[in-house]
Structure 1
């Protein structure tokens, strides 16, 4: 297992594969190297890039240190980039896209950034998150109810229909998600500011001065596609792409050619 030590002493586990310019992939909520879309994406990208995947703190083989603050996750990315030893291409998906944007805006050596469907709610095409969204999740976790926290996240955060969420509890991956449910507030820290049905604020990501690619899927819900387009509008140097036939669960084989064309 490859590891780096973050600024607060937390061990962050990572995998390196392929050869070429360095590309660092950032996972979304409850995903990590052994369970999520970025490991298969890394395999698709490995013929043209040296790809780094890692377990965000509190997940997989990475450690965790309390108390949590959003800055700690940015420091984790900083430690990985320092280990890599050169400016990187950076990619994030879903809430990991919001983390990647925050890392790039902080001034880390990122040459280009690409994001897929950050879960921003910028209009009335779906209900905004409740005002006590994060507090509710934290209360459920403190009560030892990770399953309830995940169901609440899926219903109020992701906006999935109740029958779909009920079916998810019967799937084999449910137990895996429960093991990392305690990190749901970590993702919330990067996205809740932008989930209240208002257009994204001008100037919020002025620090993201490098070229950016903002991608969505043509079959994704209107609310998340609208948020993706609005992000492209407010970023200083961004282009927007839609992948035909793709949903929020984007297929690596469909996404990789677009990323290869951009990360040159």
Structure 2
């Protein structure tokens, strides 16, 4: 499987979202400043209920929108048009969710946040972006569920545009079945959040669910960026689904703005 922002205010696009895609051996690559190649044709979206993975594993939508809303949403919404924006390329660095007790995990401090990675998950990428800000990627090898975490300082206030840019950048490498267009999600005072994503497949590979969540603090405009990836057919009750959801909740809480239903 392949690997793999706020309201009406606008800001000049930055290059930070690219940091969420580059230096990943399985992620789409495009050199800085290079023209975008023609996107692959995308299949027509058909109305149908989502796979359970989309309802559960994409924790941002599960937590902030609800399962019933997902069924209604995916049944009636086609892919959206492009919103142009782009985001710094990282450089290599040296480098609870289960009903039953699990072995202690490793707490990873990532910029303005932290996550506890379960012991059976693997840290497979540890990079620096925006100079000295850490970006990590972890994977549950048994299920190929992946989580990427970073906190960025130069995303700008156009979170929906930045989220759209992530879809466009990664979606170029997939035959996209359908998209979750950028949507604001409910947060307590002091933060704004957006979520978006898509489901698609590369040639000869199974379908992959990809979800981005961006939470921006109003106090300093720092942005927590999370990406969850996993095979579309993963059972909804898989432990890895609960674990990645727990890590997302922990990251938001450590960032100072927990998701309301965590």
**TM-score bin, normalised by smaller chain:** under 0.3
Greater RCO (Cα-Cα under 8 Å, separation 6 or more): 2
- Of Structure 1 and Structure 2, which has the larger fraction of its residues in strand? 2
User: Which structure is higher in helix share?
Assistant: 1
Compute the TM-score of the two structures, normalised by the length of structure 2: 0.25
TM-score (norm 1): 0.25
